[in-house]
Structure 1
């Protein structure tokens, strides 16, 4: 506002410029949230929840979880006289490196998939014992071969991707997380105090709680089918897509006959309806 107050043209022009600027800024923030909301909504839809319900769940959760950041711990910096949201400062400290753990979960899924494929290959070929060369040829590259280099992509990913996932990422993760914790331990007073918003304990508590919630949810979601987003009219059979041969990977409109989805012991099958994106 102080910058626009110096604009020529008088109060009317200045007011118009301020209005247009903040209106455009509001629209930019709103449109940026669409992709963020869709990321969550898509996961609900993939598990058979109707899109309208998924949007409602997500919007309601965003509103509820956003209340603390808007209403709690608005403090005044005594040195500058500027108010700042301490709640957001604390959350930034907690989740500043949370993206690294998100990447770790993805990498772990890739590692586990490769190991499981290697064990299947051993069973199919009646091979016992671990052989590193066989693991490289039939395990490490499995995710890349089954989900990336499927023949319908413009890019063909070589073995360098395996080295990044199995060697580069663990090294980078260890260095970054180690440097972060070392910095906090040696430069923050009383870092192990759970009440210290800049300490380590509060970070570990939040991370541990979130991990526990995800593990519990995964035990429930793992028994439910996933729905592939196959566009209407597409001539590609679903079983030719990555994971399409899995009995729990369905196309929208298919009937899941796997049993007790309601968890009430009735054993009754039902149709899960998911909308196309």
Structure 2
């Protein structure tokens, strides 16, 4: 959330630049560490879906910190600082996700305390299978990692339905905006982003056929079938609930 007077475009640029820069540096650090310290084929370590997604940070970075100096105390100190920072990064990301879901339930008329309890409880319950079964974790990482492409598509579609120029002039360039976004934004959202989504999804679907002979099977851990099936299920649920959700939100808005 931002205050109304804050600059949306400036904050978005800073967040995107900061996040991507740190991610790039972290990726370079981890991959360099793997190739320097791995006792097996490093390329297989960074290319395998399981270890590359879930294990490299917690396997090789502790090994890296253990070799910083000859002093165990110094090594433990730097390792503790790093993983403490990683912990806070995860917590701050979790807070924003919980708040977004909580805000949605509040729009439905729930009080904040109850909404937070519901969101936190559901998050814990839905996270248990991933904590108990690595295959389930890999499946969810696969499905919803690729699903970010669809998320971007839906955001773009929502802006197009709202009116790209109206969104740009009234919301992005509205009150508190110091950096004005030009009309190029209209073409990016209405033309470039949809093309990118279509190209990426088609590339992914075509490539997935070669990754798994039974690419259509929804019960495999990582293939097109399991992703499409879960996307379709969630989309169906939202479509069925869309009218009721919209009516509830507008009714609560009128009451306020």
TM-score (norm 2): 0.65
Q: Which structure has the highest strand share of the two?
A: 1
Q: Is the 8 A contact 2:173 2:180 kept in 1?
A: yes
Larger radius of gyration: 1
Q: Distance in 1 between the 2:90 and 2:145 partners?
A: 21
More helix by share: 2
Paired residue for 2:241? 217
5+ unaligned residues in a row in structure 1: which ranges?
Answer: 73-84, 115-139, 227-247, 257-271, 273-277
TM-score normalised by L of structure 1: 0.60
Is 1:43 paired with 2:104? Answer: yes
The equivalences for 1:181-260 within 5 A come to: 181-225=205-249, 250=253, 256=255
2:142 counterpart of 1:93: yes
The residue number in structure 2 matching 1:230 is none
- Inter-CA distance 156–65: structure 2 relative to 1 (3 Å threshold): same
How many angstroms apart in 2 are the aligned matches of 1:155 and 1:51? 34
1:174 pairs with 2:198: yes
Q: Tell me the distance in 2 between the aligned counterparts of 1:44 and 1:178.
A: 35
Cα separation, partners in 2 of 1:143 and 1:59, compared to 1, 3 Å: same
Structure number with higher relative contact order (C-alpha < 8 Å, ≥ 6 residues apart): 2
What's 1:145 paired with?
Answer: 169
Deviations 1:151-192 (A, max 9, x none): 442232221111111111111111111111111113322212
The DSSP-based 3-state class of the residue aligned with 2:247 is: coil
1:60 matched to 2:121? The reply is: yes
Q: Which runs of 5+ in 2 are unaligned?
A: 1-61
